[in-house]
């Protein structure tokens, strides 16, 4: 599958279909970090050795008809900067992989499996599901892990678990994360209190594109901090338990709004819709904020005739790289803003 | 005609139809101040004497089949405060008349003739035409003046001209004024330079509702300052000449916009349209600004399918009194904002 076909987000299962608790949980993601035994970590590898790793992983991957069907491999050094950034925007690779010369990724878009090779670790298996489906995401990642492990020798210590390049991933190598849409907890400033509680439970909150990124569009990623000394099942159970509390809080806020506060929120949501469907130019940051409002409006019944999954797709297709890739050329920031507004309008008014 | 029927602005000729140079000149207005000979000015009259004046004017008015057909008289003390303010918003009476206990007004809506009785002067004849039609407005006012003069004895001095309550109106008693829509001269801040030139030419610039009011929605009233020592024709010629200069400047600005500046203006106009057609609540001040943008957009070809006269009608029907009169009850400011948004939406989306 060419990079162009990946742009058809209706084929990315995790955002084109709806899952449980989708009003608040946009997606459930699981990532397993694995390394090959007796091979230096990626940042210590020269180019030829790194290529060998890619080949080994591909060979292991190809042994499984399930994995091999409808999947493609993309080599970072063969992609343009815009294409690499677009894969980041689509949450198919990490920013780190995008900037790695020896990196590659195998993508199976329908189930949204992506296997990053030569990122921080030799192998990072990632699965994404719509809504709150962490267990399902873990089961699938685990299945991929098992298939690869049949053919590859992973660096594993009986006492510690899987060895990883960064000590924070040692043990299970598991990072489970939920992308949550929390507009009302953000607006009412309850979010900082909730996040400070969450961090005491061994969880960490990040912005949309992972570590060090800002929460735009009221989107937050909550994930486990600890990978060692706990079973995969416990890590996932813990995250689900916390998420259910957050879901309950956000929902209560949405339902409890009355009187003028409710009217002012409806007004803001409808204005955001009016701007998205009429503006001539929109920056990506503004787009995120407006889409956040409209998504909330869809779930609150204020905006009809739009499916939440359409808003989810908009959320990840308004980034600078996606917009440029779509136009087939580099664009100035103003040209991007024009093109983005046109694209959003076409999606919402169809 | 009841006060309710006046609310149908499609029957107010001056805003429901289009006139010359309507892209910039919304309306041309002429007002003639007249007083009855040997009768104290209105502020010195007791109630019974004031009533006599009303009767005298009505009698004079009724002698003319032209004036009498389709016209109605409204007594200020019989109208509710909301009704009086609505007549001000519709530019049919002045704020001064609205607050005068002994005041009355005869309105002939089709030709938009209104005769205020017992405002600052005994009689103020007012005519309004759409677009730049000052001469036509003057001719009609003059015709009304002639009809009244056949039956009334006006205070007139051979040397000075018509005598008026305030010395600034002595002589011709004429105030000719143009309501101009100058969004680009306002935005580019050329307006203050232009207005300072204008004031040196014996003209004065005011906001939408006359003296001491602010220019909302980029609407300005330009009128003659001097009523004495010049003929009516000269006063009107002078105002038209100046207006044509202002028109030329505003049009040049509209036509000369290119590149990013043009795109940013288009963006603002389209967003304003998006907000007007989607918002849940809108204040009257915000409405004026947004309608100003959309009106500009209609004339610049950026917004299709709307007639300028529809925007003109919106301009004068978003005031607090009109909105309350429409709902048939007093509303809180928030209720007005809700009702106004609903009303604007219904007008633009029809």
Q: What is the pLDDT of residue B143?
A: 96
Q: What is the pLDDT of residue B209?
A: 58
Measured CA distances, B108 to A56, A162, B2, B33, B95 (Å):
91, 90, 12, 18, 19
Query: Which residues of chain B from 274 to 313 reach within 8 Å of chain A, CB to CB?
Result: 274-281
Min CA distance, B251 vs chain A (Å)? 23
State whether residue A257 sits within 8 Å of chain B by CB: no
Min CA distance, A171 vs chain B (Å)? 53
Q: What is the pLDDT of residue A168?
A: 87
Q: What is the pLDDT of residue A14?
A: 81
Min CA distance, B262 vs chain A (Å)? 11
- In this complex, the residue of A273, A280, A334 whose CB is nearest that of residue B270 is A280
pLDDT in single tens digits along all 350 residues of chain A: 678 788 888 778 788 888 999 999 999 999 999 999 999 999 999 999 999 999 999 999 999 998 988 899 999 999 999 999 999 999 899 999 999 999 999 999 877 899 999 999 999 999 999 999 999 999 999 999 999 999 999 999 999 999 999 988 999 999 999 999 999 999 888 888 888 888 888 899 887 655 555 578 999 999 998 888 889 999 999 999 999 999 999 999 999 999 999 999 999 999 999 999 999 999 999 999 999 999 999 999 999 989 988 899 998 899 999 999 999 899 999 999 999 999 999 999 87
Selection from B94, B138, B137, B136 nearest residue B116 by Cα: B94
C-alpha to C-alpha distance for B218 and B223, rounded to whole angstroms: 16
- List the structure tokens of A311: 């808003």
What is the gyration radius of the CA atoms in chain A, in angstroms? 20
- List the structure tokens of A166: 């960064």
Residue where the block lists tokens 């699965």: A127
Contact list in A for residue B266 (CB cut-off 8 A) is 280
Residue A271 to residue B260, Cβ atoms within 8 A? no
Burial (CB count within 10 angstroms: exposed 0-12, middle 13-18, buried 19+), residue A347 = middle
Q: What is the pLDDT of residue A199?
A: 87
Please state whether beta strands B25-34 and B123-130 pair in parallel, antiparallel, or not at all (unpaired).
antiparallel
Measured CA distances, A59 to A143, A184, B215 (Å):
17, 47, 74
Please state whether beta strands B123-130 and B113-117 pair in parallel, antiparallel, or not at all (unpaired).
antiparallel
pTM: 0.92
Contact list in B for residue A266 (CB cut-off 8 A) is 280
C-alpha to C-alpha distance for A124 and A109, rounded to whole angstroms: 16
Please state whether beta strands A174-181 and B161-162 pair in parallel, antiparallel, or not at all (unpaired).
unpaired
Q: What is the pLDDT of residue A195?
A: 86
- In this complex, the residue of A274, A276, A334 whose CB is nearest that of residue B277 is A274
Residue where the block lists tokens 């991929």: A144
Other CB atoms within a 10 A radius of the CB of residue A211 amount to: 12
State whether residue B267 sits within 8 Å of chain A by CB: yes
Q: What is the pLDDT of residue A88?
A: 93
E strand map for A268-309: none
Residue A270 to residue B278, Cβ atoms within 8 A? yes
What is the helix (H) or strand (E) element at residue A220, kind and residue range? strand A219-224
Residue A273 to residue B271, Cβ atoms within 8 A? no
C-alpha to C-alpha distance for B273 and B344, rounded to whole angstroms: 11
Min CA distance, A279 vs chain B (Å)? 5
Q: What is the pLDDT of residue B109?
A: 80
- In this complex, the residue of A263, A277, A281 whose CB is nearest that of residue B274 is A277
C-alpha to C-alpha distance for B24 and B7, rounded to whole angstroms: 25
Selection from A208, A226, A220 nearest residue A249 by Cα: A220
Min CA distance, A39 vs chain B (Å)? 55
Three-class SS of chain B: CCHHHHCCHHHCHHHHCCCCCCCCEEEEEEEEEECECCCCCHHHCCHHHHHHHHHHHHHHHHCCHHHHCCCEEEEHHHCCHHHHHHHHHCCCCCHHHHCCCCCEEEEECCCCEEEEECCCCCEEEEEEEECCCHHHHHHHHHHHHHHHHHHCCECEECCCEECCCCHHHCECCEEEEEEEECHHHHHCCCHHHHHHHHHHCCEEEEECCECCCCCCCCEEEEEECCCCCCCHHHHHHHHHHHHHHHHHHHHHHHHHCCHHHHHHHHHHHHHHHHHHCCCCCCCHHHHHHHHHHHHHHHHCCCCCCCCHHHHHHHHHCCCHHHHHHHHCCCCCHHHHHHHHHHHHHHHHHC
CB distance B130 to B27 below 8 Å? yes
Q: What is the pLDDT of residue A284?
A: 93
Q: What is the pLDDT of residue A146?
A: 96
At CA A289, angle to CA A286 and CA A293, rounded to 5? 135
State whether residue A260 sits within 8 Å of chain B by CB: yes
Residue B217, phi then psi, degrees to nearest 5: 65, 25
Best interface-test mutation with A: which of B257, B261, B264, B280 has the largest number of A CBs within 10 A? B280
Residue A267 to residue B281, Cβ atoms within 8 A? yes
CB distance A345 to A294 below 8 Å? no
As a whole number of angstroms, the longest Cα–Cα distance in chain B is 66
The number of C-alpha atoms within 13 Å of A42 and in the hemisphere containing its C-beta is 26
SS3 A30: strand
Residue A271 to residue B274, Cβ atoms within 8 A? yes
Q: What is the pLDDT of residue A211?
A: 53
Query: Which residues of chain A from 197 to 226 reach within 8 Å of chain B, CB to CB?
Result: none
Q: What is the pLDDT of residue A246?
A: 96
Measured CA distances, B41 to A35, A178, B155, B345 (Å):
100, 79, 11, 46
DSSP state of A165: S
SS3 A229: coil
Residue B274 to residue A270, Cβ atoms within 8 A? no
Residues in chain B where the model's pLDDT stays below 70: 1, 208-214
Q: What is the pLDDT of residue A216?
A: 85
Residue B279 to residue A270, Cβ atoms within 8 A? yes
Hey, which residues does A174 pair with through a beta bridge? A32
CB distance B59 to B123 below 8 Å? no
Residue of A nearest to B263 (CA): A280
ipTM: 0.90
Residue A274 to residue B275, Cβ atoms within 8 A? yes
């Amino acid at each position: 599958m060419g990079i162009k076909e990946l742009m058809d987000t209706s084929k990315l299962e995790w955002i084109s279909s709806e899952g449980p608790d989708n009003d608040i949980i946009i997606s459930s993601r699981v990532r397993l970090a694995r390394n090959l035994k007796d091979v230096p970590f990626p940042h210590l590898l020269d180019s030829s050795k790194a290529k060998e790793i890619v080949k080994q992983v591909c060979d292991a991957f190809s042994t499984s008809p399930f994995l091999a069907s409808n999947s493609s491999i993309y080599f970072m050094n063969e992609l343009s900067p815009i294409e690499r950034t677009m894969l980041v925007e689509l949450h198919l690779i990490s920013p780190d992989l995008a900037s790695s010369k020896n990196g590659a990724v195998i993508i199976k878009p329908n189930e949204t499996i992506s296997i990053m090779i030569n990122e921080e670790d030799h192998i990072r298996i990632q699965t994404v599901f719509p809504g709150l489906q962490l267990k399902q995401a873990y089961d699938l990642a685990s299945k991929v892990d098992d298939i690869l492990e049949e053919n590859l020798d992973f660096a594993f210590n009986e006492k510690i678990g899987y060895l990883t390049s960064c000590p924070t991933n040692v043990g299970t190598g598991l990072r489970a994360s939920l992308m949550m849409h929390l507009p009302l907890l953000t607006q009412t400033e309850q979010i900082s209190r909730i996040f400070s509680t969450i961090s005491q439970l061994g969880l960490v909150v990040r912005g949309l594109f992972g570590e060090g990124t800002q929460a735009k569009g009221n989107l937050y990623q909550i994930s486990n901090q600890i990978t060692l000394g706990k079973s995969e099942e416990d890590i996932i159970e813990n995250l689900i338990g916390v998420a259910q509390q957050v879901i309950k809080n956000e929902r209560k806020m949405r339902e409890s709004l009355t009187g003028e506060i409710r009217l002012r929120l409806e007004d803001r949501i409808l204005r955001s819709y009016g701007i998205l469907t009429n503006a001539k130019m929109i920056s990506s940051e503004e787009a995120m904020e407006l889409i956040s409002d409209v998504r909330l409006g869809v779930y609150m019944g204020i905006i009809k005739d739009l499916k939440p999954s359409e808003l989810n797709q908009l959320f990840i297709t308004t980034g600078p790289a996606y917009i440029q890739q779509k136009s087939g050329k580099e664009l100035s920031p103003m040209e991007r803003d024009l093109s983005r507004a046109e694209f959003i309008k076409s999606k919402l008014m169809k």
